[in-house]
Amino acid sequence: MVAAAWPGVDPQWSRELAVPSTSGADEPGTVRHWHVLDNGAQLEARGLTPEGTLLCVHGNPTWSYLWRTLLAAGSDPAHPWRVVAVDQLDMGFSERTGTFRRLADRVNDLGDLTTALGLDGPVVTVGHDWGGVISLGWALAHQDQLAGVVLTNTAVHQPSTSKIPPALRLALHPAVHQWGTVTSDAFLRVTHSLAHPPLAADVHAAYMAPYRGASRRSGVGNFVADIPVDEFHPSFAALAGVAEGLRGLTVPALMLWGPRDPIFSDRYLKDLIGRLPHAKVHRFEGAGHLVAEDRDIATPVFEWLAAREGAGSASGLGGEGSDAAADTSAAPTGDPGIEAGSATPETAASPAAPEAAGFRPLWTLLDEQAAGPAGTGSAVVEMAPSGAAARSLSWQQLEQRIADLAAGLEQAGVQRGSRVSLMVPPGVDLTVALYACLRLGAVVVVADAGLGTKGLSRAVKGATPDFIIGIDKALAAAAALGWPGRRISAGTLPGARRRLLGAETSLSELARSGAGRKAAEHADALDPDALDPDALDPDAPAAVLFTSGSTGPAKGVLYTHRQLAAMRDTVANTFGIRAGSNLVAGFAPFALLGPALGAVSVTPAMDVTAPRTLTARTLAEAAKAIDATVVFASPAALRNVVATREDLDEAGLKALARVELLLSAGAPVPEPLLAEVQQLVPAASLHTPYGMTEALPVTDISLEQIREADAETAAGTLQGGGNGVCVGKPVHGARLAIIPLAADGTASGTTPVTDAGVTGEILVSAPHVKDSYDRLWLTQRESAGIPGWHRTGDVGHFDAAGGLWVEGRLAHVVSAPGAAVTPVGAEQAIERLDSVRLAAVTGVGPAGTQAVVAVVETVPPTRTAGPAEPALAASVRAAARTAGVEISAVLAVPAQPTDIRHNAKIDRTRLSRWATRVLAGGRPGKP
């Protein structure tokens, strides 16, 4: 009837029913007429027994139409669920009662409806906007029927310390409220405009349909008026009751969130997570308030339901342990895999899962160094732009500073589980702050400025830190961009500046406060037991580290204390970096890992968020300051070191000559570059570990091994060699496998293989693989879709000796007609041309019929971007042909677009969009 004209709605779902009221805004026995969308009769007619009921409650000013995708998905015979999407009274196509209905009334109304429908368990509530609160009110009152809760952008608590969102303040203003919500349709149109992308015309019309005319919009205005703005509001007690009731709700929960919501921001999501800490959470980057319109929510809802079916719950929905994606660190059993030391795939065996006994926190060696004979020696050194050491701490001083700051932070409110965003350059302050937070059990959030302002802001807001510790520039960004969290300055600020930036205190003030507290309590500054390490849960969250964002929005990667400790042990056992090593860290993670390894560490005078700022002189000065034995620098940093080597003096050359080990990672490192670097560090063994934020590191290979693999490949004696970058064999404790690539460029299989020459997605299992993606439940499920393995998103293959060759990213595979083309092999062949500095191979056109396009950065650089000169294009095509790839078009650019963090990962997705525009006749512009 009513639903016949609306896209995406089966007319059979539309239903009206008379419901007697039992309490609330109406006299008992008053009959109200409801409209619902209900697929129950349809399932019955098809002979399908539903596995349960989804009770879906819309907010303001939408109606049951919001849930049409869930109704369609629930009607699928593969997973039949009855879906009842209600139109609340005075809303949608339900009765206009003429009575002001408050929150408690609406919860009672919903109970009357479900009684009339005869709903019985298992019931999963689904709510959005203020319908989220109402659905939760029903859930708390019907826990005997309740099997789970699903929430999309909503809120159950308004902090007294902050105002309600500006949009709602405006809608509540006496001069605006009646006109904006009832007299006109402005409130509806503004709400509908929050969709990303904009609603289609017919969908927009469907949303407007029940509210044509002021007489149909009274409920819209009343809903807004019922928002509890403070504790004096009539509905405040009901809202508070729901909010507090959630703390005792233990049924499975799923939260699907649109961060681009001007009303229900991430602070409300954080509050909900605090009340339902066991909930699965997925933030859809780019989605907003109408997340059910912006993204497909039906798929994750039904995946979540399926993941819990038959997991031991009487309701059919199991607990959190039933989630197939919950465990990524446990080693797979019975599956093939190549592990450290394997000569061939056949010799591989499953690595043992990490034992609970014998766990040593990340800072164990730091404490041992402070208490031992090396205690008065340097631990961390900070370089000044002049080339001299600006600051340094001994092991004893470092341990004491950490203990003092931890005590001060605890006084300031930092506690176990608090999220602390660290926005401080590598050096003394960052090292002390990091280890102080970890020893308190706080979760450190690390997202560097290399993400750019937009990416960094997205990351910080998504992580919702409780505290931000930052330099002046970071606190200024926090103030300007509205980042959450109480602010602590890294340095001491003048009073006016401090007030402007909203900094409550500074690291030095907190350390002094902590030292005073410890002195008053007669605490031993070097006693690690003073911070009660036995209370630390090894499997509690310890850090959220953000990816580089080179393949999409940066993702937060969650590590536990056990996984951070396993990372330390893997690096120590693979590279021999232990107490007594002296480390120059031109890469922030290794600067922070140095103290955990018991190694003296120094960061060169450089901007670690811009690797190209490392010069040969600054590298040598840092090496000289600590008599370095180990250097870690990214490929882009090494390129600039080689380019500026003429600036080295005799002392600098001697300092670099004492280096014993040089590591470079972040992107493939060409052999010619390593050969040039070897001349600067003649005594060093050069290694290029392969890894990612989710698992650092995964494999390792030395320059000698690279040359050996290349030689055997050229000679044809290494089966499976070539077509990519050889990154060596698994590091200590790691295990690798492959999911074969299909002709369409996907890797949808579930059986890992280790056969030589088989290209596919690379899988890794290791004790130091991340725990999960932070608030990205769907992404986590995809990455852990094969139990015990992490799907890296990289593609590659093994050679017959067990070496791994990386061929690119799965997302960058070109689906050409009849075959999938991986980019790296052809790119390497093209880059051997004297006229090409960097090359990228990407696809243009529809999947399955994509044209293979090469985009090259020329030597010397071309002045304008566009089609390459005929001679260059011919040589590029010929070079790619040697790698078995036919190039359809060749474009030239002055400079390749690379990621900011490494200055080395080419953004092939961005190039694909640019190449599509150019080849369609558009103006080239900048890629």
What is the overall mean pLDDT for the chain? Answer: 90
Round to whole Å and give the CA distance between 3 and 19: 20
Place of tokens 């609603």: 199
Round to whole Å and give the CA distance between 241 and 805: 58
**Single-letter code of the amino acid located at 247:** R
Round to whole Å and give the CA distance between 882 and 740: 23
Residue 582 has which token pair? 């002296």
Residue 722 has pLDDT above 50, yes or no: yes
Residue 2 has pLDDT above 80, yes or no: no
Residue 801 has which token pair? 């000796």
Cβ within 8 Å of residue 492, ≥6 positions away: 506, 508, 509
- 772-773 and 556-560 strand pairing: antiparallel
**What are the DSSP calls for 301-322, one per residue?**
HHHHHHHHTTSS-TTS---GGG
Among 68, 89, 78, 74, which Cα is nearest to 206's? Answer: 68
pLDDT, position 775: 97
pLDDT, position 165: 79
Do 768 and 695 form a contact (C-beta atoms < 8 A)? yes
322 band by pLDDT with thresholds 50, 70 and 90:
very low
State what percent of residues in the chain have pLDDT above 90. 76
> Residue by residue, what is the 3-state secondary structure of 590-617?
HHHHCHHHCCEEEECCCCCCCHHHCCHH
pLDDT, position 553: 87
Residue 757 has pLDDT above 90, yes or no: yes
Place of tokens 């190449």: 915
Residue 413 has pLDDT above 70, yes or no: yes
The residue-averaged pLDDT of 897-902 equals 59
DSSP label of 906: B
Phi, psi of 148 (to 5 degrees): 175, 170
Residue burial 174-185, b: 16+ Cβ < 10 Å; e: rest: eeebeebbbeeb
pLDDT, position 527: 45
Among 548, 463, 555, 549, which Cα is nearest to 790's? Answer: 555
Do 194 and 292 form a contact (C-beta atoms < 8 A)? no
Q: Of the given ranges (71-75, 156-160, 550-554, 571-575), which has the lowest mean pLDDT?
A: 550-554
**Single-letter code of the amino acid located at 89:** L
pTM of the complete model: 0.90
Domain boundaries, the chain: 2-161+231-308, 166-225, 372-536, 576-688, 813-919
Domain 2-161+231-308 CATH class label:
alpha beta
pLDDT, position 897: 82
**What are the DSSP calls for 98-118, one per residue?**
-S---HHHHHHHHHHHHHHHT
Strand partners, 19: 32
The residue-averaged pLDDT of 546-551 equals 80
Q: Of the given ranges (516-530, 533-547, 656-670), which has the lowest mean pLDDT?
A: 516-530
Do 337 and 350 form a contact (C-beta atoms < 8 A)? yes
DSSP label of 647: G
CATH architecture of 576-688: 3-Layer(aba) Sandwich (3.40)
**What are the DSSP calls for 740-763, one per residue?**
EPPTTS-------B--BT--EEEE
Cβ within 8 Å of residue 17, ≥6 positions away: 33, 34, 36, 116, 117
Place of tokens 């009646």: 178
DSSP label of 12: G
Do 150 and 253 form a contact (C-beta atoms < 8 A)? yes
Round to whole Å and give the CA distance between 698 and 765: 9
Angle at which helix 236-245 crosses helix 130-141, to 10 degrees, equals 60
4 band by pLDDT with thresholds 50, 70 and 90:
low
Helix (H) or strand (E) holding 469: strand 467-470
- 735-740 and 760-765 strand pairing: antiparallel
The residue-averaged pLDDT of 884-892 equals 94
Residue 708 has pLDDT above 90, yes or no: yes
Residue 328 has pLDDT above 80, yes or no: no
pLDDT, position 676: 96
pLDDT, position 522: 56
CATH architecture of 813-919: 2-Layer Sandwich (3.30)
Q: How many CB atoms lie within 10 A of CB 87?
A: 24
Round to whole Å and give the CA distance between 581 and 659: 10
Do 58 and 92 form a contact (C-beta atoms < 8 A)? yes
Q: Do domains 2-161+231-308 and 372-536 have the same CATH topology?
A: yes
The residue-averaged pLDDT of 182-202 equals 95
pLDDT in tens, 220-240: 999 999 988 888 899 999 999
pLDDT, position 529: 44
pLDDT, position 818: 82
Round to whole Å and give the CA distance between 650 and 640: 19
pLDDT in tens, 822-853: 999 999 999 999 999 889 999 999 988 999 99
Strand partners, 631: 584, 662
Residue 319 has which token pair? 């607990």
Residue 904 has which token pair? 């080395």
The residue-averaged pLDDT of 717-746 equals 93
The residue-averaged pLDDT of 620-635 equals 95
Residue 70 has which token pair? 């869930």
- Per CATH, domain 372-536 is 3.90.79.10: no
pLDDT, position 335: 57
pLDDT, position 22: 92
pLDDT in tens, 444-502: 999 988 788 899 999 999 999 999 999 999 999 999 999 999 999 999 999 999 999 99
pLDDT in tens, 786-815: 999 999 999 999 999 999 999 999 999 999
The residue-averaged pLDDT of 331-338 equals 61
Round to whole Å and give the CA distance between 141 and 837: 67
pLDDT in tens, 17-76: 999 999 888 999 999 999 999 999 999 999 999 999 999 999 999 999 999 999 999 999
Round to whole Å and give the CA distance between 190 and 167: 10
pLDDT in tens, 341-389: 654 433 333 333 444 457 999 999 999 999 999 999 999 999 988 888 8
pLDDT in tens, 76-125: 999 999 999 999 999 999 999 999 999 999 999 999 999 999 998 899 99
Do 765 and 351 form a contact (C-beta atoms < 8 A)? yes
pLDDT in tens, 577-603: 999 999 999 877 777 899 999 999 998
Residue burial 804-821, b: 16+ Cβ < 10 Å; e: rest: bbbbbbbebbbbbeeebb
Cα–Cα distances in angstroms (integers) from residue 423 to residues 141, 340, 449, 876, 903, in the given order = 45, 36, 8, 43, 20
534 band by pLDDT with thresholds 50, 70 and 90:
low
Do 348 and 740 form a contact (C-beta atoms < 8 A)? no
**HSE, side-chain direction, 13 A CA sphere, residue 245:** 18
Residue 533 has pLDDT above 70, yes or no: no
Cα–Cα distances in angstroms (integers) from residue 725 to residues 93, 285, 822, 838, in the given order = 62, 32, 12, 15
Phi, psi of 280 (to 5 degrees): -85, 135
Residue 272 has pLDDT above 90, yes or no: yes
- 735-740 and 814-816 strand pairing: unpaired
